Structures are given as structure tokens and as C-alpha cells.
Amino acid sequence: MVRPAERAMGIEYAIRDVVLPARELEKKGINVIRLNIGDPGKFDFQPPKHMRDAYCRAIQEGHNYYGPSEGLPELREAIVEREKRKNGVDITPDDVRVTAAVTEALQLIFGGLLNPGENILVPSPSYPPYTGLVKFYAAEPREYLTVEENGWQPDIDDMRKKIDEKTKAIAVINPNNPTGALYEKKTIKEILDLAGEYDLPVISDEIYDLMTYEGKHVSPGSLTKDVPVIVMNGLSKVYFATGWRLGYFYYVDPEGKLDELREAIDKLMRIRLCPSTPAQFAAIAGLTGPMDYLEEYMAKLKERRDYVYKRLTEIPGVSTVKPQGAFYIFPRIEERSKWKNDKEFVLDVLHGAHVLFVHGSGFGKAGEWHFRIVFLPPVEILEEAMNRFEEFMRKKLS
């Protein structure tokens, strides 16, 4: 038997891990409503036509070669323009790197930044790669609390307590997965002040930046003076192209504090060759093209969010904060006597109601006794899911 690497064996990804028991039920012919994966392409959302056309055209016109490791110059230019419009950042194409989506950006940034034994502050609850990938590099993801009673805003005092001499950066996910929180400008300023005090960079995941229902996203990149910020974004959510695997990151670093890190990350970028070339042509079309599709899509999503939120407020045994961004809702299990933990709860719902959620503890310590629902499907499907879930809860609690 070949012995695998321990660093790989320890990796967990709750969102996909729960699919296995769901598949077992489906094999028996049972219809399971899957509300676990945040993939708009599985429902009635597609990337806009001008992006799909540009992708096909790039392939037909022969753009099927390796590109530069840092990304095509025309795309890096388009990213600068998009980010100047959105965040008012003072960057040039030289500050931009194109990646195989945000997930690869995380691999590259963590890989370039973290030595074994060092740590990075990540939100709790948080999107699982933030803990899994950091651990893969033998570093420690230190979870800082976000506070449910305060709309899941980060707890700055807790963040401060978690910093020590081995801390290398503060990661911020806003709008947040799994909570749907949208951070206030004041909170972003406080995070930047704290980072400045300890001379730490901020790593900002903005993949849901234009997906907000109330309020607007504020980037630390737009507010920073001297604190270096690495902003990540991509095509997966706002441009509805999850399967194209294209994203980017850029450095807002007026004082050049990240120069050595940039060199380390560039080395990593060269050994992984380059991101998909034709997908980059689609990205240029998306970033420079019309955004009217987003209004229509956000109206659909808002209706779905409002529907699920309303239903959840009527279901016994759970309570819910209304998400302000992204397409997730993260209810709390109030009635706990029937289950050992949130994972058992989610499996019980799966077997009893044939609806698939993700257990909150899969997103970190602060996610315990919660579960995540993806509200991407049309209202008819959400209605059936909520009917099944409500009946399940009423029976359980009667």
C-alpha cells in the first residue's frame, strides 16, 4: 500500500462531503433537493451572452495557446479599469495577476506567504479553503469571531487577541460565505487600523462584491493608506461563470511592503504555467461589457432570499439573520435536544425531509449549531424544500 501525504489526508470540504449520503438516497430513487453548493450555473443563471460569445470566438479564432503566467496584458488592463471603477484603487496592470479563479489565488498567496508554524487570521465561520489550504501549507488558520447578534460583523477585539509574532496576514471575506454578511465601512476601517498597528497585510476576498441586497460593498483596497491589501475577485459569482475557473488578484501597496512576497508568488505562478487563455478573452468581455444582466439576476436572488428568510422565521426550532449579500443564509439551530450536533441535524434533515443543507461546523468553530442554505433555486423549488423542512421540524418538535 502506498502511504499518502498526511497533509492531504487531513483536508475536509464540508460542502461536498455531505453529497455522499445524498447520493445514496438518490440511488434509491429518492428526490433530494440539494441546497448545498453555491453554483448559480446549476439553476437559472448563466454568464451573459457577450461573455459566452467571446469565449467561443477566442477558441475559434485560435487563442488556444499558453499565455503569460501573470495573465494577458489586455485582461490585466481591463481588471485595472474595473477595479478603478468599483474601488477607486490606484493600481496599474503590473499590480494585477490572473489566476484559475479565486481558489488558485488562495493557493498562490498562502503558498507564497506562509512558512510552517506561522498563522493567518481567518473569519469564523468561513469558506472552508481558508482553513484547509492554510493547514496544507503546515500553517495555522486562526479563526476570529464574527458576531451573529451583530449581523455577523467581525469582532475586532477577538481579532486583536488572536494576533501574535507568527501572524502573517488578516483575511477578510466580504460579502461573506456562509453568513451573507456585508461588512460596514466602519468595520473595514477598524480592520485596516488593526492591521496597520501590527504591520500586517489584509487579504480581501471580494468574489461577491456586486451581489448585495441592502447597502454597498466597501473594499479595504479603497480605504487603505499605507496598509498593504491584496484584493481577490473573479468570474465565478458576479459574472456567473463558476465552471470557467478564472479569477484574479491585485496588490494595493503604495509603500512597496509586499515586493518580496510578490516575487515569491510570481515564482509560484511561473511553475504553474498560466491560466486558461480563451477564458481570459471571455473575462475581458465581461469586465468591459454591459452589466444590465446583473440587475435582473439580483432581482431574482432578492426574491429568493426574501422568500427563504420569511419561511425560516415561521419554522420552529431555528432562528435566522437576514443575509445582505451573496446567496447563502445561515440559520441557527435553537432547539438542540434532539441532535448531538449540527452535522447530525443536517443528516437527519437529509434522511427525514430529503433536503440537503451543509452543517455549520464545516465552516469553523463559530458555525457550530448552524447550517447553511443556498437560496439559488427558483421559488417553486425553495417552497418545496421549505415545506419539507417545516413539516420535518414540526414533527420533530411536537
Binding footprint of ligand PLP on the chain (CB under 6 A): 38, 101-103, 127, 173, 177, 205, 207, 234, 236, 242, 247
359 in Cβ contact with 346 (< 8 Å): yes
Q: How far is the CB of 117 from ligand PLP (least distance, A)?
A: 25
- By three-state DSSP, how is residue 168 classified? strand
Between residues 309 and 327, which has the closer beta carbon with respect to ligand PLP?
A: 327
**275, 98 contact by CB (below 8 A):** yes
Considering the complex, what minimum distance in angstroms separates the CB of residue 207 from ligand PLP? 5
CB neighbourhood size of 115 (10 A):
10
To 10 degrees, what angle do helices 101-113 and 259-271 make? 120
Instruction: Give how far the C-alpha of residue 239 lies from the chain's centroid of Cα atoms, to the nearest Å.
Output: 14
Q: Are 227 and 202 in contact (CB under 8 A)?
A: yes
Please say which residue, 38 or 360, places its beta carbon nearer to ligand PLP: 38
C-alpha to C-alpha distance for 244 and 276, rounded to whole angstroms:
8
Please compute Rg for the chain using Cα positions: 21
Cα–Cα distance, 135 to 55 (Å, whole number)? 35
CB of 26 to ligand PLP, least distance (A): 23
Nearer to ligand PLP, 102 or 353 (CB): 102
Q: Closest approach of Cβ 63 to ligand PLP, in Å?
A: 21
- Measured CA to CA, the distance from residue 107 to residue 137 in angstroms comes to 9
250 DSSP β-pair partners: 96, 231
To the nearest whole angstrom, how small is the minimum distance from the Cβ of residue 38 to ligand PLP? 5
Cβ nearer to ligand PLP, comparing 244 with 392 = 244
- Smallest gap from residue 164 Cβ to ligand PLP (A): 25
Give min distance, CB of 244 to ligand PLP, in A.
Answer: 9
Based on CB atoms, which residue is closest to ligand PLP, 173 or 282?
173
Nearer to ligand PLP, 233 or 396 (CB): 233
Least distance between ligand PLP and beta carbon 18 (Å)? 15
Residues in the chain: 398
Complex with ligand PLP: residue 204 or 396, whichever CB lies closer: 204
Q: Where are the alpha helices (DSSP H) in 137-244?
A: 156-162, 185-197, 220-223
| CB nearer to ligand PLP: pick between 353 and 376 | 376
Pairing of β 247-252 and β 229-234: antiparallel
- How does strand 355-356 pair with strand 202-205? unpaired
Q: What is the C-alpha to C-alpha distance for residues 318 and 303, in angstroms, rounded to an integer?
A: 21
User: Cβ distance 311 to 35 under 8 Å?
Assistant: no
Chain mean position to CA 88: 22
- Quote the least distance from Cβ 113 to ligand PLP, whole Å: 17
Whose Cβ is closer to ligand PLP: residue 205's or residue 342's?
Answer: 205
Which backbone phi and psi does 56 adopt, to 5 degrees? -60, -45
Residue pair 286/294 in contact by the 8 Å Cβ criterion: no
